[in-house]
Amino acid sequence: MAKEQTASMEDYLEAIANLREEGKVVRVKQISQVLNVKMPSVTSALKKLSEEGLVRHEPYGYIELTLQGDKAANDVIGRHKALSCFFSQALDIDPLTAEEDACKIEHVISPLSLERLTKLVEFIQACPLGEANFPKRYKYYLEHGELPEECLLTISKTKQSSE
Amino acid sequence: MAKEQTASMEDYLEAIANLREEGKVVRVKQISQVLNVKMPSVTSALKKLSEEGLVRHEPYGYIELTLQGDKAANDVIGRHKALSCFFSQALDIDPLTAEEDACKIEHVISPLSLERLTKLVEFIQACPLGEANFPKRYKYYLEHGELPEECLLTISKTKQSSE
DNA sequence: ATATATTGTTAGGCAAGTCTAACAATATCC
DNA sequence: GGATATTGTTAGACTTGCCTAACAATATAT
C-alpha cells in the first residue's frame, strides 16, 4: 500500500503529473518553476521519491512517474479538482483563490469530507429548481445579504406540510 | 499588526485560549496533552510566543495570552468554528471528523472562502423550503444517491420560467 | 569542435518543530 | 519540614524541506 506522503512530496508528484499531462518533457527546471522552489530542492525531492519507488529518474535524465507514483499523483489531483470545483461552483469563488485554497486543503482534508463536498456540488447542479435554483438563490443571498423572494414566498406555501 | 503565525503556533494559541475558556488554569502539561506533544515542545513554543508578545509566561508560572495573543487566538478559533459548523451542518459530517478537518483547514483557508462557507451555512439555515428544505433534500441525496421527488417534480413546474 | 550558456547535482547550512535524557523547581504527603 | 511525586526546563539530537555556492554535465552556437 502506498506510503503516506507529506504535503511537499504530494506537491512534487502533482506537479510532475500535471507537466506530463501538458505533453511537456518533465525536467527539474520545470518542476522548480511550477512549485516555486530552487532546483536543488527538486533534485533532493526526486531522490526521495525515487527511493520510494514513485519516480524514475536517472541523473541529468528525464523524469517519469512509476505506476505507483502515477496512482499517488492522480489521487492528489482528484482531491485538488474536487476542491477547486467546489470553491468555484458551489461557493462562487474566483478561479485564482479557488486554486490556491485547493492546493493547500488537498493535503489535509479527510476522504469523507471530500466525498461530501463532491456530492454537494453534484446535488446543487442536479437539483433543478428552474429559475430559482440553488446557485442563483445563493448568489442573490451573497449579493444582497438577504434571501430572495422565492425563499420567503415559500414559507407560507409550505406551512401545511407536517413537521 | 499581528505577525503571521505558523500552523503550529496557531495551534498553541488556540489551545491556550480554549483551556482558559474552560476555566482551567493553563499549564504546560495541559497544553501538551491537548496538542499531543511532549512538554519540552510546549516550553519552546511558549518561549517563542512570549518573545513575539503573544503570551505571558514566567518560568514555572501560569500561562496567559496578551491582548494581542488573545486576538490572534480568537481569529483562529473563529476560523475553526466556521469550518466545523460548515462540515457538520452543511455536509452532515460526524462531529469528530468535522473537528479534525477544521483543525487542519483552519490554518490554510483563505478569508474569502471562509466567508463564503459561513454564508452558505447561513443560507441553508435561513432559506426556508418547508419540508423540502435544503438540508433534507441534500441528506436524501446522500442516502439514496438520487434526487428526492420534490426536486424532480419541480422541473416541469418551472419549465415556463424564462432562461 | 570548442567556447558559452543552460541545466542539474553535490555539499553544506539553516529554520521549524519535534523528541529524549537529565536536571530543577514546585507540590504533596505523612 | 523532609522525602517523594509531579511538573517544568535545558541541552542537544533528529527530520523535513528549504536555501546558496560551487561544481559537473549537457546543449547551443558560431
Please name the fold of domain A7-73: Arc Repressor Mutant, subunit A (1.10.10)
Selection from A121, A123, A150, A122 nearest residue A137 by Cα: A150
Which pLDDT tens digits describe chain A residue by residue (163 residues)?
677 999 999 999 999 999 999 988 899 999 999 999 999 999 999 999 999 999 999 999 999 999 999 999 999 999 999 999 999 988 989 999 999 999 999 999 999 999 999 988 888 877 666 555 677 777 777 778 777 776 666 544 444 444 3
- Using a 7 Å CB cutoff, list residues 18-57 of B near strand D: 27-29, 39-40, 42-44, 46-47, 57
Helix crossing, A7-21 with A28-35: angle to 10°? Answer: 120
Nucleotide nearest to B35 (CA to C1'): C18
* Strand D, nucleotides covered by protein (CB < 7 Å): 7-12, 16-21, 25-26
CB A64 within 8 Å of CB A57: yes
Helix crossing, A111-126 with B134-144: angle to 10°? Answer: 110
How far CA A10 is from CA of A15, A46, A77, B51, B154, in Å, comes to 8, 12, 9, 34, 44
**Largest Cα–Cα distance of chain B, in whole Å?**
74
Helix crossing, B39-51 with B7-21: angle to 10°? Answer: 100
Residue–nucleotide distance: A65 CA to D21 C1' (Å) = 30
Where are chain A's structural domains?
7-73, 129-157
Residue–nucleotide distance: B61 CA to C30 C1' (Å) = 27
Closest CA-bearing residue to C1' of C10: A40
Place of cell 433534507: B136
pLDDT for the residue A151:
66
Which pLDDT tens digits describe chain B residue by residue (163 residues)?
677 999 999 999 999 999 999 988 899 999 999 999 999 999 999 999 999 999 999 999 999 999 999 999 999 999 999 999 999 988 889 999 999 999 999 999 999 999 999 988 888 877 666 555 677 777 777 778 777 776 666 544 444 444 3
Instruction: Report the chain A residue with the minimal C-alpha distance to residue B149.
Output: A127
Place of cell 401545511: A160
